[in-house]
Amino acid sequence: MENEKIQQFISNWEPEASSALCAQFLEISVPAAKFRNLAEKLRFDEQMLFDYLFNMTCVDWNDHFITVYHLHSTKHNHSLVLKAVIANHDNPEVDTICDIWKTAELLEREVYDLFGVRFNNHPDLRRLLLADDWVGFPLRKDYKDEVNMVIR
């Protein structure tokens, strides 16, 4: 499906979603509270069928977080970037999608580990790469570690 049509569908489903046609992908931003609902629609709607989550990550913008999901449909061969905007920087939370795309279970654990974003209803939200007793979330922009980090 063309990007414009996808945009149309999404604005009908979720009026609060804002979309932008960037050079590479169509980018959809949605508040964290509305995110899960839209993700489900994108996965299961017959005309969307975004079944392949090929990348998922998070970006710290100092006053808010954005979790980024790269989606592709193997049936319709279209892609988009879905972003959940988490306005609360002190206590970031967003709903899990690991029951929709199974690969997200480990990816969400990684984001929780490195950014401290909590995924609601995640079955096993623990640290993944770092030790269980690690203090802080290293990929946050305000993370400080005077022993292990050299800032040039």
Partner 1 sequence: MQAELISKDGTQEYFVNMGPQHPSTHGVLRLVLTLDGEIIKRVEPHIGYVHRSIEKMAEFDTYKQIIHLTDRMDYLSAHMNNEAVALLVENALEIEVSDRVKVIRTIMSELTRLASHQLWWGVMGMDMGAITTFLYAFRDREMINDIMEETTGARLTMNYNTPGGVMFDLHPNFQKQVKEFIKIFKTKLPEYDELLSGNIIFTERTKGIGKLSLADAISFGVTGPSGRASGFACDVRKTNPYSAYDRVNFTEILLVEGDAYARYKARIFEMWESISIIDQLIDNIPEGVIMAPMKAIVKLPKGEFYQRVETARGELGVFVVSDGNKTPYRVKFRSPGFSNLSVLDHISRGHKIADLVAIMSTLDLVIPDIDR
Scanning 1-9, 28-36, 57-65, 88-96 for contacts with partner 1 by CB under 8 A, the matching segment is: 57-65
Residue 81 in contact with partner 1, rule: CB under 8 A = yes
Q: Which of 70, 76, 89, 118 binds partner 1 (CB under 8 A)?
A: 70
59 forms part of the interface with partner 1 (CB under 8 A): yes
Is residue 62 at the binding interface for partner 1, with CB under 8 A as the rule? no
Number of residues that bind partner 1 (CB under 8 A): 34
Residues 89-128 that bind partner 1 (CB under 8 A): 101-103, 105-107, 110, 114, 128
Q: What are the residues facing 60 on neighbouring strands?
A: 65
Of the candidates 83, 85, 93, the residue with the CA atom closest to the CA atom of residue 115: 93
> Are 76 and 21 contacting, i.e. CB atoms less than 8 angstroms apart?
no
**Which stretch, 1-9, 31-39, 53-61, 84-92, contacts partner 1 (CB under 8 A)?**
53-61
Helix (H) or strand (E) holding 27: strand 26-31
Provide the total of helices (H) and of strands (E) in the chain, helices listed first: 3, 7
Residue where the block lists tokens 């990816």: 107
When the beta carbons of 33 and 76 are compared against partner 1, the nearer one is 76
Give the Cα separation of 129 and 126 in Å (integer).
10
21 binds partner 1 per the rule CB under 8 A: no
Q: Is residue 74 within the footprint of partner 1 (CB under 8 A)? A: yes
DSSP 78-123: -EEEEEEEE--SSS-EEE--TTTSTTHHHHHHHHHHHH--EEET-T
Q: Which residues bind partner 1 (CB under 8 A)?
A: 22-25, 27, 51-55, 57, 59-60, 68, 70, 74, 81, 101-103, 105-107, 110, 114, 128-131, 138-139, 149, 151-152
